[in-house]
A and B are shown apart, each in its own frame.
Chain A
Protein backbone atom coordinates (compact mmCIF):
# COMPACT_ATOMS: atom_id res chain seq x y z
CA UNK A 1 0.00 0.00 0.00
CA UNK A 2 2.96 2.30 0.35
CA UNK A 3 4.79 2.66 -2.95
CA UNK A 4 2.00 4.26 -4.91
CA UNK A 5 1.32 6.68 -2.11
CA UNK A 6 4.85 7.97 -2.20
CA UNK A 7 4.66 9.34 -5.75
CA UNK A 8 1.26 10.96 -5.34
CA UNK A 9 0.65 14.19 -3.54
CA UNK A 10 -2.05 13.00 -1.20
CA UNK A 11 -1.99 16.15 0.86
CA UNK A 12 -2.86 18.22 -2.20
CA UNK A 13 -5.58 15.76 -3.22
CA UNK A 14 -7.13 15.88 0.22
CA UNK A 15 -7.00 19.68 0.26
CA UNK A 16 -8.71 19.76 -3.14
CA UNK A 17 -11.44 17.38 -2.00
CA UNK A 18 -12.08 19.43 1.12
CA UNK A 19 -12.19 22.56 -1.03
CA UNK A 20 -15.04 21.02 -3.01
CA UNK A 21 -13.49 18.83 -5.70
CA UNK A 22 -15.04 15.68 -4.29
CA UNK A 23 -14.42 13.65 -7.43
CA UNK A 24 -10.76 13.41 -6.51
CA UNK A 25 -11.70 11.12 -3.66
CA UNK A 26 -12.12 8.34 -6.22
CA UNK A 27 -8.49 8.71 -7.24
CA UNK A 28 -7.28 9.17 -3.70
CA UNK A 29 -8.56 5.78 -2.56
CA UNK A 30 -7.86 3.72 -5.67
CA UNK A 31 -4.48 2.33 -4.50
CA UNK A 32 -6.01 1.23 -1.19
CA UNK A 33 -9.11 -0.61 -2.33
CA UNK A 34 -7.48 -3.99 -2.20
CA UNK A 35 -5.81 -3.42 1.15
CA UNK A 36 -8.98 -2.21 2.83
CA UNK A 37 -10.97 -5.12 1.46
CA UNK A 38 -8.35 -7.66 2.55
CA UNK A 39 -8.22 -6.21 6.02
CA UNK A 40 -11.98 -6.52 6.28
CA UNK A 41 -11.97 -10.00 4.78
CA UNK A 42 -9.30 -11.29 7.09
CA UNK A 43 -11.32 -10.14 10.07
CA UNK A 44 -14.82 -11.06 8.98
CA UNK A 45 -13.98 -14.14 6.94
CA UNK A 46 -16.95 -13.58 4.71
CA UNK A 47 -16.70 -11.94 1.30
CA UNK A 48 -20.05 -10.20 1.24
CA UNK A 49 -19.61 -8.74 4.70
CA UNK A 50 -16.05 -7.75 3.95
CA UNK A 51 -17.22 -5.83 0.91
CA UNK A 52 -19.86 -4.02 2.95
CA UNK A 53 -17.37 -3.15 5.66
CA UNK A 54 -14.86 -1.93 3.06
CA UNK A 55 -17.51 0.32 1.52
CA UNK A 56 -18.50 1.63 4.92
CA UNK A 57 -14.87 2.36 5.74
CA UNK A 58 -14.39 4.36 2.54
CA UNK A 59 -17.63 6.26 3.12
CA UNK A 60 -16.59 7.03 6.66
CA UNK A 61 -13.21 8.23 5.45
CA UNK A 62 -14.95 10.47 2.94
CA UNK A 63 -17.31 11.94 5.51
CA UNK A 64 -14.55 12.46 8.05
CA UNK A 65 -11.82 13.61 5.72
CA UNK A 66 -11.65 17.01 7.40
CA UNK A 67 -10.57 15.20 10.57
CA UNK A 68 -7.60 13.55 8.89
CA UNK A 69 -4.35 14.85 10.30
CA UNK A 70 -1.33 14.80 8.05
CA UNK A 71 0.92 13.55 10.84
CA UNK A 72 -0.02 10.02 9.78
CA UNK A 73 -0.24 8.56 6.31
CA UNK A 74 -3.63 8.53 4.67
CA UNK A 75 -3.35 4.73 4.22
CA UNK A 76 -2.67 4.26 7.94
CA UNK A 77 -5.67 6.38 8.83
CA UNK A 78 -7.82 4.46 6.37
CA UNK A 79 -6.74 1.14 7.83
CA UNK A 80 -7.55 2.23 11.36
CA UNK A 81 -11.04 3.22 10.17
CA UNK A 82 -11.39 -0.19 8.52
CA UNK A 83 -10.27 -1.95 11.68
CA UNK A 84 -12.88 -0.10 13.70
CA UNK A 85 -15.63 -0.83 11.18
CA UNK A 86 -14.72 -4.51 11.09
CA UNK A 87 -14.53 -4.77 14.85
CA UNK A 88 -17.90 -3.17 15.39
CA UNK A 89 -19.37 -5.51 12.79
CA UNK A 90 -17.84 -8.45 14.63
CA UNK A 91 -19.28 -7.25 17.89
CA UNK A 92 -22.71 -7.04 16.33
CA UNK A 93 -22.27 -10.55 15.04
CA UNK A 94 -21.15 -11.57 18.51
CA UNK A 95 -18.41 -13.72 17.17
CA UNK A 96 -16.04 -11.95 19.49
CA UNK A 97 -17.39 -13.93 22.39
CA UNK A 98 -15.55 -16.94 20.98
CA UNK A 99 -12.25 -15.12 20.76
CA UNK A 100 -10.60 -13.01 23.38
CA UNK A 101 -8.97 -9.82 22.18
CA UNK A 102 -6.93 -9.72 25.34
CA UNK A 103 -4.52 -12.61 24.99
CA UNK A 104 -1.73 -11.52 27.34
CA UNK A 105 1.39 -10.59 25.43
CA UNK A 106 3.56 -12.72 27.64
CA UNK A 107 1.46 -15.82 27.32
CA UNK A 108 3.40 -18.61 25.66
CA UNK A 109 6.77 -17.05 25.10
CA UNK A 110 7.90 -19.79 22.81
CA UNK A 111 6.01 -21.20 19.91
CA UNK A 112 7.57 -24.38 18.67
CA UNK A 113 7.71 -24.29 14.89
CA UNK A 114 7.21 -27.32 12.67
CA UNK A 115 10.47 -29.21 12.86
CA UNK A 116 11.80 -30.19 9.48
CA UNK A 117 15.15 -31.47 8.44
CA UNK A 118 15.00 -29.98 5.01
CA UNK A 119 12.73 -27.64 3.17
CA UNK A 120 12.26 -27.73 -0.53
CA UNK A 121 11.23 -24.31 -1.75
CA UNK A 122 7.63 -24.08 -2.89
CA UNK A 123 7.63 -21.86 -5.97
CA UNK A 124 5.05 -19.14 -6.51
CA UNK A 125 3.70 -21.10 -9.48
CA UNK A 126 2.15 -23.46 -6.93
CA UNK A 127 -0.37 -20.66 -6.34
CA UNK A 128 -1.92 -21.44 -9.71
CA UNK A 129 -3.50 -24.33 -7.88
CA UNK A 130 -6.73 -23.55 -6.17
CA UNK A 131 -5.95 -26.13 -3.51
CA UNK A 132 -2.76 -24.34 -2.49
CA UNK A 133 -4.46 -20.93 -2.37
CA UNK A 134 -7.16 -22.41 -0.18
CA UNK A 135 -4.65 -23.94 2.24
CA UNK A 136 -2.98 -20.54 2.63
CA UNK A 137 -6.24 -18.59 2.99
CA UNK A 138 -7.55 -20.95 5.65
CA UNK A 139 -4.36 -20.83 7.66
CA UNK A 140 -4.42 -17.02 7.71
CA UNK A 141 -8.12 -16.82 8.45
CA UNK A 142 -7.78 -19.23 11.33
CA UNK A 143 -5.06 -17.31 13.14
CA UNK A 144 -6.35 -15.83 16.40
CA UNK A 145 -7.64 -12.35 15.71
CA UNK A 146 -4.90 -10.33 17.43
CA UNK A 147 -2.25 -12.15 15.40
CA UNK A 148 -4.23 -12.10 12.18
CA UNK A 149 -4.64 -8.32 12.21
CA UNK A 150 -0.94 -7.67 12.59
CA UNK A 151 0.03 -10.35 10.10
CA UNK A 152 -2.30 -9.05 7.39
CA UNK A 153 -1.16 -5.47 7.79
CA UNK A 154 2.54 -6.24 7.92
CA UNK A 155 3.02 -9.26 5.69
CA UNK A 156 0.15 -9.01 3.22
CA UNK A 157 -0.36 -5.28 2.95
CA UNK A 158 3.33 -4.69 3.53
CA UNK A 159 2.97 -1.82 5.96
CA UNK A 160 5.98 -1.05 8.15
CA UNK A 161 6.00 -2.15 11.77
CA UNK A 162 5.63 1.50 12.80
CA UNK A 163 2.64 2.04 10.53
CA UNK A 164 0.96 -1.08 11.89
CA UNK A 165 1.52 0.13 15.44
CA UNK A 166 -0.01 3.49 14.56
CA UNK A 167 -3.02 2.05 12.72
CA UNK A 168 -3.75 -0.38 15.57
CA UNK A 169 -2.85 2.02 18.35
CA UNK A 170 -0.53 -0.47 20.01
CA UNK A 171 3.18 -0.32 20.74
CA UNK A 172 5.86 -1.25 18.24
CA UNK A 173 7.05 -4.03 20.54
CA UNK A 174 3.53 -5.47 20.75
CA UNK A 175 3.39 -5.49 16.95
CA UNK A 176 6.69 -7.37 16.82
CA UNK A 177 5.64 -9.95 19.39
CA UNK A 178 2.32 -10.62 17.64
CA UNK A 179 3.94 -10.71 14.25
CA UNK A 180 6.52 -13.21 15.40
CA UNK A 181 3.85 -15.48 16.81
CA UNK A 182 1.68 -15.18 13.74
CA UNK A 183 4.56 -16.11 11.48
CA UNK A 184 5.61 -19.08 13.56
CA UNK A 185 2.01 -20.27 13.88
CA UNK A 186 1.74 -20.18 10.11
CA UNK A 187 5.02 -22.00 9.68
CA UNK A 188 3.92 -24.62 12.17
CA UNK A 189 0.70 -25.27 10.35
CA UNK A 190 1.62 -24.61 6.75
CA UNK A 191 5.01 -26.26 6.44
CA UNK A 192 3.56 -29.77 6.89
CA UNK A 193 0.37 -28.97 4.94
CA UNK A 194 2.19 -27.52 1.97
CA UNK A 195 4.71 -30.31 1.97
CA UNK A 196 1.99 -32.92 1.82
CA UNK A 197 0.13 -30.96 -0.85
CA UNK A 198 3.11 -32.06 -2.92
CA UNK A 199 4.88 -30.40 -5.79
CA UNK A 200 2.76 -28.68 -8.41
CA UNK A 201 1.70 -31.12 -11.07
CA UNK A 202 2.30 -30.04 -14.59
CA UNK A 203 -0.93 -29.18 -16.30
CA UNK A 204 -1.48 -27.85 -19.75
CA UNK A 205 -4.66 -26.16 -18.71
CA UNK A 206 -5.47 -25.02 -15.26
CA UNK A 207 -9.10 -24.22 -14.78
CA UNK A 208 -9.17 -24.36 -11.03
Chain B
Protein backbone atom coordinates (compact mmCIF):
# COMPACT_ATOMS: atom_id res chain seq x y z
CA UNK B 1 0.00 0.00 0.00
CA UNK B 2 1.30 3.42 -0.93
CA UNK B 3 0.22 6.56 0.86
CA UNK B 4 -0.64 9.71 -1.02
CA UNK B 5 0.65 13.02 0.30
CA UNK B 6 -2.68 14.16 1.67
CA UNK B 7 -2.99 10.96 3.68
CA UNK B 8 0.46 11.51 5.11
CA UNK B 9 -0.63 14.98 6.25
CA UNK B 10 -3.39 13.38 8.30
CA UNK B 11 -0.76 11.57 10.32
CA UNK B 12 1.65 14.44 10.97
CA UNK B 13 0.42 15.22 14.47
CA UNK B 14 0.48 11.61 15.65
CA UNK B 15 3.84 11.13 13.95
CA UNK B 16 5.32 14.02 15.93
CA UNK B 17 3.85 12.60 19.14
CA UNK B 18 5.24 9.16 18.39
CA UNK B 19 1.68 7.87 18.54
CA UNK B 20 1.37 6.09 15.18
CA UNK B 21 0.68 2.39 14.95
CA UNK B 22 3.79 0.55 13.71
CA UNK B 23 2.22 -0.37 10.35
CA UNK B 24 1.13 3.20 9.65
CA UNK B 25 4.45 4.55 10.87
CA UNK B 26 6.28 2.29 8.39
CA UNK B 27 4.12 3.57 5.52
CA UNK B 28 4.60 7.19 6.51
CA UNK B 29 8.35 6.77 6.84
CA UNK B 30 8.56 5.08 3.47
CA UNK B 31 6.70 8.00 1.93
CA UNK B 32 8.88 10.58 3.67
CA UNK B 33 12.03 8.98 2.30
CA UNK B 34 11.21 10.01 -1.22
CA UNK B 35 8.81 12.95 -0.78
CA UNK B 36 10.49 16.33 -0.33
CA UNK B 37 7.17 18.07 0.02
CA UNK B 38 5.95 15.99 2.95
CA UNK B 39 9.40 16.05 4.56
CA UNK B 40 9.40 19.85 4.42
CA UNK B 41 5.89 20.00 5.87
CA UNK B 42 6.90 17.68 8.68
CA UNK B 43 10.13 19.57 9.41
CA UNK B 44 8.40 22.95 9.39
CA UNK B 45 5.63 21.72 11.69
CA UNK B 46 8.16 20.27 14.12
CA UNK B 47 10.20 23.47 13.99
CA UNK B 48 7.12 25.62 14.60
CA UNK B 49 6.15 23.51 17.62
CA UNK B 50 9.61 23.99 19.11
CA UNK B 51 9.37 27.75 18.60
CA UNK B 52 5.84 28.15 19.95
CA UNK B 53 6.72 26.16 23.09
CA UNK B 54 9.59 28.50 23.93
CA UNK B 55 9.10 30.48 27.12
CA UNK B 56 10.07 33.69 25.35
CA UNK B 57 6.94 33.70 23.18
CA UNK B 58 4.60 34.46 26.06
CA UNK B 59 5.97 36.23 29.10
CA UNK B 60 4.45 36.72 32.52
CA UNK B 61 3.64 40.36 33.25
CA UNK B 62 6.13 42.07 35.55
CA UNK B 63 5.33 41.39 39.24
CA UNK B 64 2.51 39.00 38.31
CA UNK B 65 3.57 36.58 41.01
CA UNK B 66 3.89 39.28 43.65
CA UNK B 67 0.36 40.54 43.02
CA UNK B 68 -1.06 37.04 42.97
CA UNK B 69 0.46 36.07 46.31
CA UNK B 70 -0.58 39.35 47.89
CA UNK B 71 -4.15 38.65 46.83
CA UNK B 72 -3.95 35.14 48.23
CA UNK B 73 -2.60 36.53 51.50
CA UNK B 74 -5.58 38.84 51.71
CA UNK B 75 -7.90 35.91 51.06
CA UNK B 76 -6.20 33.77 53.69
CA UNK B 77 -6.55 36.55 56.20
CA UNK B 78 -10.27 36.59 55.51
CA UNK B 79 -10.55 32.82 55.63
CA UNK B 80 -8.79 32.48 58.98
CA UNK B 81 -10.97 35.28 60.37
CA UNK B 82 -14.03 33.47 59.18
CA UNK B 83 -13.09 29.98 60.21
CA UNK B 84 -11.54 30.96 63.49
User: Using a CB–CB distance below 8 Å, which chain A residues touch chain B?
Assistant: 22-23, 25-26, 30, 33-34, 37-38, 41-42, 47, 51, 54-55, 58-59, 62-63, 109-119, 121-122, 124, 126-128, 132-133, 136-137, 139-140, 155-156, 158, 161, 176, 179-180, 183-184, 186-187, 190-191, 194
Most buried by B among A41, A117, A136, A161: A136
Interface size class of B (residues with CB under 8 A): 35 or more
Report yes or no: A62 in contact with B47, Cβ–Cβ below 8 A.
no
CB-based nearest A residue for B75: A59
Q: Which residues of B contact A115 (CB under 8 A)?
A: 37, 41
A113-B52 contact in complex given A26-B69, A33-B68, A51-B67, C-beta closer than 8 Å = no
**Pair A124/B41 contact, Cβ less than 8 Å:** no
Asked if B51 and A124 make an inter-chain contact with CB atoms under 8 angstroms apart, the answer reads: yes
Q: Which residues of B contact A (CB under 8 A)?
A: 6, 9-10, 12-14, 16-17, 19, 36-37, 40-41, 43-45, 47-58, 60-61, 64-65, 67-69, 71-72, 75-76, 79-80
- Cβ–Cβ < 8 Å partners of B72 in chain A: 25-26, 58-59, 62
